[in-house]
Structure 1
């Protein structure tokens, strides 16, 4: 089976955010996008892609679907912090006419800064758990391979879809980091094996 294109993320966002649960906002659905780079600034090519995805979703989603952006907090003196970039993203979101919430991923900042996988996983899980209690259903988009652990541990039911968008992998850019390469492979593999045994769950890996 071939992998879907990036445009399938938009299709999933529109057609798969339905549910039969009774949360705090029973009449609302949500698309949540977690990014390591691309909201506060751009320190890599992935930042450009992540920003484009966020802005396109804000523009094309139906107005009754909320958008939640989950960026990782970055140091204001680092290469990934650009004030004008952040202002431009916020202005684009403001023009969308929809409800947009920005929730910075919280946790041990030193661990988050070095993209520590357990710290990233825990930060995402806390936000996703909160959203599950507030919305009737939704789409969780995990951009960047650092969120693979969150995908592997997420519990997805018929009301929710998880999309993993690994911009790159350690195997491609730093193959000498064997331990991280193994972790990425096992995290994604564990998630796919779990889904294969759970027909009510859905996960998509998008190649960009």
Structure 2
């Protein structure tokens, strides 16, 4: 086993010491003076991951969401409110930031960083302070727009409805990529806050996105959101951007063939089930390729869960490389000719982005559990192989099946996977559909802009 480092209204009261100071931050992109003086339509987007770097699939999805808006909206229509991440933070990625800023400049967007850094999303009080700050900024910045909408991306902004007033000059659209009911069911206080925030938002006329059929059902039944307030916005990829970047160097022992599993280092990702499944396969005499396990965080120190995974790899004597520090480069291994299978062993999954990335890269087969949104993309025998969640024996069976498929079967699976990706998970088309149906005013060029074009 090797550990590879990364190179490259009802207001919840704030808890003393946990609150995020509300201080104005420097702005970039479009000047504040010109933006605040405009009367054109505006769309504002608040996000906590994906602007300064990426720590999970959420960051990739959020950046893709921003990219579609920069391609679609007229110049000067977009305002971005990212949670500010300083350059000293381990998750800050200078190359990523440079690419994001090119998008911003192309759209002539106004950027208003939200103070608090990554610690602001760790606690309930921090998230509530973020929501209050974003609403105050939107109230100020969007006041002179002819019509406006505020979009909150993911869990930290599910409380925006608690701070919005009936006379605020913008509508509200929330895009939860997960919920605390799914991600941290033990945190009942935070779950209650999400319930109150979503209820307040919907009662005020907001719409809530469902990134999968599973999430629609979850939002309706676990959070009580009426179906008419939910807009189906299936997560996806920007198909036009699926370019072949160089494949990063593999861990040496993976070059002869490997399994790949990656994701946030949290128990809901089911990595312990995967290690148990591989141990059982080995005990049965099945020859298992080298495992590259990127159960990662954006920090240098191992979490208790990562230490437990590393100890399991050692105790079972598994042939594996354990990667603890997140890197976007890991996804390039989906295009490696040495890849034997991609394994997604989640115990709970609102959507599951990794199978789509594998489909786009031509990686096959994908082995995934039948958890949540994964059932919508990984179809047993069609686009991959599936197993019952939290069941290492069944997961081992599916992995064994994947390892013994023929080249012809593998190619047929690639073809079906790409077809599914293009027909349902073209994120550009999905977001444009939302804009056309619910914010058509944001897509129309003003007279001055038509003249400029």
TM range (shorter): 0.7 to 0.9
Matched, 1:77 2:80: no
Distance (whole Å) between structure 2 residues aligned to residue 82 and residue 141 of structure 1: 24
Q: TM-score, normalised by structure 1?
A: 0.74
Contact 1:37 1:80 in 2 (8 A): no
Which residue of the other structure, out of 205, 209, 226, is the alignment partner of 1:206? Answer: 209
Partner of 2:439: none
Partner of 1:146: 156
State how 1:2-41 maps to structure 2 within 5 Å: 25=37, 27-41=39-53
The 3-state SS of whatever aligns with 1:39 is coil
Structure 1: gaps spanning 5 or more residues: 1-23, 196-201
Q: In 2 relative to 1, CA 133–187 (structure 1 residues): closer, same or farther, beyond 3 Å?
A: same
Q: In 2 relative to 1, CA 74–82 (structure 1 residues): closer, same or farther, beyond 3 Å?
A: same
Matched, 1:88 2:96: no
Q: TM-score, normalised by structure 2?
A: 0.36
Q: Deviations over 1:104-148 (max 9, x none)?
A: 013x55862535122112221221121233322211111012112
Q: After TM superposition, what 4+ stretches of structure 1 lie above 4 angstroms from structure 2?
A: 108-111, 156-159
Q: In 2 relative to 1, CA 135–181 (structure 1 residues): closer, same or farther, beyond 3 Å?
A: same
Contact 1:38 1:51 in 2 (8 A): yes
The 3-state SS of whatever aligns with 2:159 is helix
Distance (whole Å) between structure 2 residues aligned to residue 82 and residue 181 of structure 1: 31
Contact 2:41 2:77 in 1 (8 A): yes
| Structure with higher RCO (Cα < 8 A, 6+ apart) | 1
Could you tell which deviates more after superposition, 47-56 or 152-161?
152-161
Partner of 1:99: 108
Which residue of the other structure, out of 162, 170, 184, is the alignment partner of 1:174? Answer: 184
Contact 1:42 1:79 in 2 (8 A): no
Q: In 2 relative to 1, CA 122–112 (structure 1 residues): closer, same or farther, beyond 3 Å?
A: same
Could you tell which deviates more after superposition, 108-117 or 54-63?
108-117
Matched, 1:61 2:70: no
| 1:66 CA drift (Å) | 1.4
Distance (whole Å) between structure 2 residues aligned to residue 109 and residue 88 of structure 1: 20
**How many residue pairs are counted as aligned between the two chains?**
175
Matched, 1:186 2:196: yes
| 1:36 CA drift (Å) | 0.4
